[in-house]
């Protein structure tokens, strides 16, 4: 593990910055990742990032020494629809491309997470019983009841002889008689079985759904076979135990999978179907072939055929064969309830077959939106990254909320039984998104989008959630906005992130998946917002899009680390972004800039007529004090005894005297022609003070209004904070009077407190709603409905 918790990096920098010890922010810089001294905020990330090597270059690209392992799989699996159980046998061919000899191999047994007494079960902390939902209680009880975990039936070498193995919770070590030498390959086989979990009760990324109306099951099967753990240049074996949240770190390889299911099941899987002739009717086969070049949606299995399948359960079995090349995983779905639709999607110049599988319960939403959303996702993502490299892209409706696998994704939203649905979720986090149109479109965009990150750009999910979820959520936002004007995106716009950014209980984005607080905001929303701000306000679309595409291209079918992303974005754009990564990814500060003061300076002309008149006008403009006002009628001694008056009582201090003129002449004599001209400077010098209350340094997009009615917009780059991250005093030289200045007029910085952004301040209008107090009938009224149903007066 190379994970480094946020270190006290500030200490070294602070020493060079002792001169600013007066800053309040300095003390917080040592412990608070939102470094407040400018030197801290703009220090290079050097010691936070792994040292570049010839495997991973300082540019952020893979180097000449780059290597990664490869694992090819041949699998035969049987789905037991009676017992909700998987039985499988696989042969893995492991290619050791590393420069190291390996004495043993590690495999992942993810299903052991569901074993009683697993680390996941034992380390789970108590739920909040003050607000436990019915669903949460059902899940707790099902986890206690379920007979989970993998049974390993056999592990054998290529010669058929047993290989010794050791299971350590969710990992299995296979010991080799001879180390697997650098550059060599090895084949071995594993036979296993496990029970399938009820995914309507336990959130498990895979499992079954039972339909009591027709007695049928729908299966979404994932993390179902022993998979090679990743062996990497930066972490060795990535065999951090599976606790349920940090997802999957996997090797790329080719798959040949035979799936045996009840004869009337329809199967969707990673890869291309190899034996369509054997599993489809002639009519269905013709439709399937036609869909490949059709821009119109075609039903391969129609709603009527699916309904008929669901009625008459067949007792025989049938085997579906799939092949997939260069994928990091394999998932499938199976049910006799599946409708299957398909059409062509375009990825740049390539044709991709987009397909959806769903029960009749998913209609009418699914035939209208699912496959259309797949095609749209592939189109937009291909433009911002690389052409979708796989032949098919699939969306399946079932019990899993939203989960991604190579070429296939599981997406939960479906309408109510009466075929009605919401447009958007009614409030953040509630279940109505599972019954909403935009909930469905968004989750499909998101899960199909995961084909790019992490399925192809193969980041380490067990360690870093943001590397796939954050980048993917950012592209999801671009794709949603390209769907329709005003698309109700949940994440992406900076203003949607401000509540989280200002909240307590935060950890940096650069935190291990299992330890993240506020998971969705931290690993999805905040990085997506950060990338949006980088693109719109810091780098600009052209530089950002080029650099982002560069990252995707460089790490396509490879395994990047965070440093590779940070470095590539800078390398391809000539933009030093270390301050940005530090603040947004390693820190928990937020943007809250207050425009706290505006001062106006003008040149003193030295001309006594002009300057004394200005001073006189300043004094005249000054309001009398309260005492002065109340003393107006006061009888004063000087009025009664004029003999007390002298020269100073009579003279006007603003009168210009011959001595003043002489001083002026003398001053002018000492000046050159150029210097004298400067005394006539007519410009206004406005000094605007910005206070950084949130800790995160930010560019300052500004709108300046002038007395003549014109408006100017400009952006001051974040480097304005590079010496003092607490306060920036910015000079504006104008020939006109400024009447107003506004920071962040388009809410593009995630500033959490817009109320302090404008000079002069703006009123924040709002509404408050009165509530009616409620009362229960007292026990004397409870026996008779007639009585208690009457309003209490
Ligand atoms: Zn995701």
pLDDT of 791 reads 74
- Dist CA 196 CA 485 (whole Å): 42
Q: Which residue has the tokens 């090679």?
A: 228
Sign of CA pseudo-dihedral 688, 694, 697, 702: negative
In angstroms, what is the span from residue 473 Cα to ligand 1's centroid? 7
* Cβ proximity of 107 and 266 under 8 Å: no
Q: So what's the pLDDT on residue 21?
A: 29
Q: How far is the CA of 403 from the centre of ligand 1 (A)?
A: 7
Q: What is the pLDDT of residue 764?
A: 87
Residue 85 pLDDT: 98
In the predicted structure, residue 149 carries a pLDDT above the cut 90 = yes
Mean pLDDT in residue range 268-276: 98
Averaged confidence pLDDT in the chain: 93
* 195 vs 86: CA distance, rounded Å: 6
Residue 77 CA, ligand 1 centroid: distance in Å: 27
Interatomic CA distance for residues 518 and 215, integer angstroms: 38
Rounded to the nearest angstrom, the distance between the alpha carbon of 783 and the centre of ligand 1 is 54
CA of 518 to the centre of ligand 1 (A): 15
Q: Write out pLDDT tens, residues 599-654.
A: 999 999 999 999 999 999 999 999 999 999 999 999 999 999 999 999 999 999 99
Cα(123) to centroid of ligand 1, in Å?
Answer: 24
Strand ranges inside 400-533, DSSP E: 402-405, 408-411
> Listing from the earlier edge strand, what are the strands of the sheet with 102-108?
165-168, 171-180, 102-108, 227-228
The whole-number average pLDDT for the span 445-467 is 98
Query: Which tokens sit at 259?
Result: 């799936």
Residue 54 has pLDDT above 60, yes or no: yes
524-539 pLDDT, tens digit each: 999 999 999 999 999 9
What average pLDDT score do residues 231-245 get? 96
- Ligand 1 centroid to residue 382 C-alpha, Å: 18
Average pLDDT over residues 204-220: 97
On the question of pLDDT at 27 being above 50, the answer is no
Pick the residue with more confidence: 26 or 208? Answer: 208
- 476 CA distance to ligand 1 centroid (A)? 10
pLDDT of residue 36: 63
Distance 404 CA to ligand 1 centre (A): 7
Ligand 1 centroid–CA 445 distance in Å is 10
For position 673, what pLDDT does the model report? 96
Helix axis angle, 658-669 to 608-621, nearest 10°: 120
Q: How far is the CA of 561 from the centre of ligand 1 (A)?
A: 18
Centroid of ligand 1 to alpha carbon of 469 (angstroms): 5
> What is the whole-number distance in angstroms between the Cα of residue 470 and the centre of ligand 1?
8
More confident of the two residues 9 and 267: 267
- The predicted model scores a pTM of 0.92
pLDDT value at position 22? 29
Confidence of residue 203 (pLDDT cuts 50, 70, 90): very high
- What number is the average pLDDT over the span 212-231? 98
Q: How far is the CA of 400 from the centre of ligand 1 (A)?
A: 13
Decide: residue 543, CB within 10 A, 0-12 exposed, 13-18 middle, 19+ buried.
Answer: middle
Percent of the chain's residues with pLDDT above 90: 90
Q: Parallel, antiparallel, or unpaired: how do β-strands 339-347 and 298-301 relate?
A: antiparallel
Residue pLDDT, tens place only, 470-487 = 999 999 999 999 999 999
- The reported pLDDT for the residue numbered 773 is 85
What is the rounded average pLDDT of the residues 255-265?
97
Query: For residue 776, what pLDDT is reported?
Result: 85
C-alpha of residue 247 to centroid of ligand 1, in Å: 10
CA 726 to centroid of ligand 1, rounded, Å: 36
**Percent of the chain beyond pLDDT 70?**
95
Ligand 1: centre distance to CA 758 (Å): 38
pLDDT tens readout for residues 640-662 = 999 999 999 999 999 999 999 99
Q: pLDDT digit string (tens) for 668-698?
A: 999 999 999 999 999 999 999 999 999 999 9
pLDDT at residue 18 is higher than 50: no
């Amino acid at each position: 593990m190379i994970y480094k918790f946020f270190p006290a990096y500030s200490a070294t920098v602070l020493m060079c910055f002792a001169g600013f010890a007066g800053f309040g922010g300095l003390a917080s810089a040592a412990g608070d990742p939102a470094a407040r001294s400018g030197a801290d905020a703009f220090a290079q990330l050097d010691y936070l990032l792994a040292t570049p090597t010839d495997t991973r270059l300082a540019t952020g690209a893979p180097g000449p020494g780059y290597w990664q392992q490869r694992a090819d799989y041949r699998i035969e699996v049987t789905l037991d629809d009676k017992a909700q159980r998987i039985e499988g046998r696989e042969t893995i061919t492991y290619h050791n491309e590393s420069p190291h000899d390996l004495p043993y191999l590690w495999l992942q047994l993810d299903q052991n997470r569901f074993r009683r007494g697993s680390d996941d079960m034992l380390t789970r902390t108590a739920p909040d019983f003050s607000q436990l939902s019915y669903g949460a209680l059902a899940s707790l009880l099902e986890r206690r009841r379920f007979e989970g975990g993998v049974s390993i039936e056999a592990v054998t070498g290529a010669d058929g002889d047993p290989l010794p193995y050791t299971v350590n919770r969710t990992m299995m070590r296979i010991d080799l008689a001879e180390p697997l030498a650098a550059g060599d390959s090895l084949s071995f086989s594993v036979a296993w079985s496990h029970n399938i979990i009820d995914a309507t009760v336990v959130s498990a990324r895979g499992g079954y759904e039972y339909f009591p109306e027709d007695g049928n099951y729908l299966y979404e099967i994932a993390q179902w076979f022993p998979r090679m753990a990743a062996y990497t240049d930066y972490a060795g074996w990535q065999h951090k135990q599976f606790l349920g949240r940090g997802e999957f770190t996997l090797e790329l390889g080719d798959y040949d999978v035979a799936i045996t299911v009840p004869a009337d099941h329809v199967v969707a899987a990673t890869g291309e179907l190899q034996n369509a002739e054997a599993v489809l009717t002639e009519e269905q086969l013709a439709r399937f072939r036609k869909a490949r070049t059709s821009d119109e949606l075609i039903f391969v299995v129609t709603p009527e055929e699916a309904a008929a399948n669901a009625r008459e359960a067949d007792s025989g079995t049938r085997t579906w064969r799939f092949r997939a090349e260069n994928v990091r995983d394999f998932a499938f779905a199976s049910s006799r309830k599946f409708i299957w639709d398909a059409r062509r999607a375009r990825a740049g110049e390539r044709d991709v077959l987009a397909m959806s599988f769903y029960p009749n319960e998913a209609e009418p939403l699914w035939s209208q939106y699912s496959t259309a959303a797949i095609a749209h996702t592939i189109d937009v993502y291909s433009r911002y990254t690389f052409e979708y490299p796989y032949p098919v892209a699939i969306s399946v409706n079932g019990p899993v909320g939203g989960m991604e696998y190579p070429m296939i994704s599981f997406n939960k939203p479906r309408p109510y039984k009466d075929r009605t649905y919401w447009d958007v979720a009614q409030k953040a986090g509630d279940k109505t998104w599972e019954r909403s149109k935009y909930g469905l479109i968004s989750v499909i965009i998101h899960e199909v989008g995961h084909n790019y990150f992490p399925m192809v750009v193969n980041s380490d999910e067990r360690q870093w959630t943001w590397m796939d979820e954050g980048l993917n959520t950012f592209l999801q936002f671009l794709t949603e906005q390209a769907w329709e004007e005003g698309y109700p995106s949940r994440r992406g716009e900076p203003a949607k992130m401000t509540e989280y950014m200002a909240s307590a209980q935060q950890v940096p984005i650069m935190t291990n998946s299992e330890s993240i607080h506020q998971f969705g905001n931290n690993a999805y929303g905040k990085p997506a917002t950060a990338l949006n701000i980088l693109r719109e306000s810091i780098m600009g679309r052209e530089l950002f899009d080029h650099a982002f595409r560069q990252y995707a291209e460089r790490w396509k079918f490879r395994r990047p680390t965070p440093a590779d992303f940070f470095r590539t974005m800078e390398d391809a754009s000539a933009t030093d972004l270390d301050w940005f990564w530090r603040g947004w990814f390693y820190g928990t500060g937020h943007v809250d800039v207050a425009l706290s003061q505006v001062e106006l300076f003008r040149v003193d002309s030295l001309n006594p007529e002009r300057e004394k008149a200005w001073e006189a006008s300043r004094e005249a403009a000054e309001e009398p004090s309260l005492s002065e006002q109340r003393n107006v009628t006061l009888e004063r001694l000087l009025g009664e005894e004029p003999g007390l008056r002298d020269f100073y009582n009579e003279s006007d201090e603003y009168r210009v005297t011959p001595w003043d003129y002489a001083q002026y002449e003398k001053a002018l004599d000492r000046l050159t022609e150029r210097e004298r001209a400067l005394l006539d400077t007519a410009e206004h010098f406005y000094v605007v003070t910005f206070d950084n209350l949130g800790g995160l340094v930010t560019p300052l997009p500004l709108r300046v209004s002038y007395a003549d009615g014109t408006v100017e917009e400009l952006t001051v780059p974040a480097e304005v904070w590079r010496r003092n991250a607490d306060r920036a005093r910015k000079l504006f030289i104008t020939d006109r009077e400024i009447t107003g200045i506004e920071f962040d007029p388009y809410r593009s910085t995630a500033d959490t407190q817009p109320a302090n952004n404008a000079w002069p301040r703006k009123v924040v209008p709002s509404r408050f709603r009165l509530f009616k107090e409620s009362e229960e009938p007292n026990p004397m009224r409870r026996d008779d409905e007639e009585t208690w149903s009457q309003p209490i007066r």
